[in-house]
């Protein structure tokens, strides 16, 4: 369950990632730099945050819709990849820059982001519980 706790705290902290500068700073160890289409700046512009793991150093997650993408290649266009896999993402659908949002628009966006966050954490917990139930059933069958 520790993995779910780490993910839960990571996703929850994404409220600070409305700032492109904050998102870009997360790409300090990003493997793609100059002469690539998926530079830290372009990844951040597309709403991504770098969230690597030991086995997957190029995982990027949208701070808003929480879609996680890995297996990036130098010629991948972050915006196109994001739209292709999450066309309804509220960040992608914004009609104006974050700095131009009204307070009401920001609160609406944040409410939607938190609903996505809660859904994702709930689904992770349900998957964990299903695994626990399956393991318990297997143990009971072997008795």
Any idea where the domains of the chain sit in the sequence?
2-142
Residue 18 has pLDDT above 70, yes or no: yes
- Measured at the CA of 61, the angle between CA 55 and CA 67, to 5 degrees, comes to 110
Question: What pLDDT is stored for residue 2 in this prediction?
Answer: 44
Q: What distance in Å separates the CA atoms of residue 25 and residue 121, rounded to the nearest whole number? A: 25
Q: What mean pLDDT is predicted for residues 100-121?
A: 90
Torsion 41-11-1-85 (CA) sign: negative
Q: What mean pLDDT is predicted for residues 83-94?
A: 93
Out of 58-67, 73-82, 95-104, which region has the weakest mean confidence (pLDDT)? 95-104
Domain 2-142 superfamily per CATH: Inhibitor Of Apoptosis Protein (2mihbC-IAP-1); Chain A (1.10.1170.10)
Grade residue 79 by pLDDT with cuts at 50, 70 and 90.
very high
State pTM to two decimals: 0.79
Residue 71 phi, psi dihedral angles, 5° rounding: 75, 35
């Amino acid at each position: 369950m520790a993995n779910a706790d780490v993910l839960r705290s990571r996703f929850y902290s994404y409220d600070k990632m409305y700032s492109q500068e904050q998102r870009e700073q997360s790409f300090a160890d990003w493997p793609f730099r100059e002469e690539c289409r998926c530079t830290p700046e372009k990844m951040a512009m597309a709403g991504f945050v770098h969230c690597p793991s030991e086995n997957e150093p190029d995982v990027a997650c949208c701070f808003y819709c929480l879609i996680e993408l890995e297996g990036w290649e130098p010629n991948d266009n972050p915006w196109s990849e994001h739209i292709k896999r999450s066309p309804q993402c509220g960040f992608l659908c914004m009609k104006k820059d974050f700095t131009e949002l009204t307070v009401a628009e920001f609160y609406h966006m944040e409410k939607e982001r938190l609903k996505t966050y809660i859904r994702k954490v709930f689904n992770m917990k349900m998957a964990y519980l299903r695994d626990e139930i399956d393991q318990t059933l297997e143990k009971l069958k072997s008795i």
